[in-house]
Amino acid sequence: MTIQPVVQVTGLQQGYGQKIVLSDIDLTLKRGQILALIGPSGAGKTTLIRTIMGMMRPRAGQVLVFNQAVPDRLLLARIGFMAQTDALYESLTGAENLTFFAKMQGVGHEEMTKQLTYAANVVNLQSALDQPVKNYSGGMKRRLSLAIALISKPPLLILDEPTIGIDPELRRKIWEELHRLAHDQGTAIILTTHVMADAEEADILMMIRNGTAIAQGTPTQLKADYQTNSIEAVFLAAGRQQDAH
């Protein structure tokens, strides 16, 4: 029996109005893998994530999530999503926000306390859960958004810049949890980042520049292919190759 990939993108082209933002994107994400999309601001990372979520219909090509073509509303229950801009209820407390989104994602009454404690603990927000979100700092709001994405333990996590505004110690703890989810529970994870250190943590990297994938592979493989010992150097070399074409 062949195991279907969690996400399969083939020949994707995407854009806004007349503007083409992504071309010829192919990617396969399997159960238990962490994929980092890295690239400069405006490269098209969020657009790719939005397309995989089914928020934008592919202009050309195909996007399958759990073997279903997107958009498919039923898929949303299986995806934990952290958007780049926090969509939180400011007048509700952190705990109330978590409970609301957990219910929407089908977390049952009996699991609620356990899941809420788990998600708040991953992002160190336990002591702030009773405060209204309007009193939270920007970093606390990002952390709450990440906790919301994690709360139902979905089989696919899609995280848009999850480590922005997060201090190094907490960043380490979040990465440990993402590795545990992927490697112990088989969660498939896609995240975007500008930070090369985050890229090193992923199993697979897709470097996006000017809307195309300029390099793709495991961090070790990419460093070997470009004969360098840093992901940043791979990115710069792949960018130069793109400019030369």
Ligand X SMILES: Nc1ncnc2c1ncn2[C@@H]1O[C@H](COP(=O)(O)OP(=O)(O)OP(=O)(O)O)[C@@H](O)[C@H]1O
Residue numbers at the binding site for ligand X (CB under 6 A): 16, 19, 21, 39, 41-47, 84
User: What is the amino acid identity at position 90?
Assistant: E
Query: Which residue's structure tokens are 């545990």?
Result: 180
Beta strand segments in 39-195, E: 60-65, 68-69, 79-82, 156-160, 188-193
Give kind and range of the element (H or E) at residue 110.
helix 109-122
Residue in 118, 184, 104, 123 with CA at minimum distance from that of residue 151: 118
Three-state SS for 10? strand
Smallest separation (angstroms) from ligand X to the CB of 131: 28
Using the minimum distance from each CB to ligand X, give the nearer residue, 56 or 98: 56
Using the minimum distance from each CB to ligand X, give the nearer residue, 160 or 201: 160
Smallest separation (angstroms) from ligand X to the CB of 44: 4
Using the minimum distance from each CB to ligand X, give the nearer residue, 83 or 88: 83
Smallest separation (angstroms) from ligand X to the CB of 245: 20
Smallest separation (angstroms) from ligand X to the CB of 51: 9
Using the minimum distance from each CB to ligand X, give the nearer residue, 48 or 102: 48
Bridge-based pairing of strands 7-16 and 19-29 is: antiparallel
* Phi/psi of residue 96, nearest 5 degrees: -65, -40
Smallest separation (angstroms) from ligand X to the CB of 200: 18
CB distance 7 to 27 below 8 Å = yes
Smallest separation (angstroms) from ligand X to the CB of 121: 28
Residue in 154, 120, 157 with CA at minimum distance from that of residue 140: 120
Using the minimum distance from each CB to ligand X, give the nearer residue, 24 or 130: 24
Using the minimum distance from each CB to ligand X, give the nearer residue, 49 or 116: 49
Number of residues that this document lists for the chain? 245
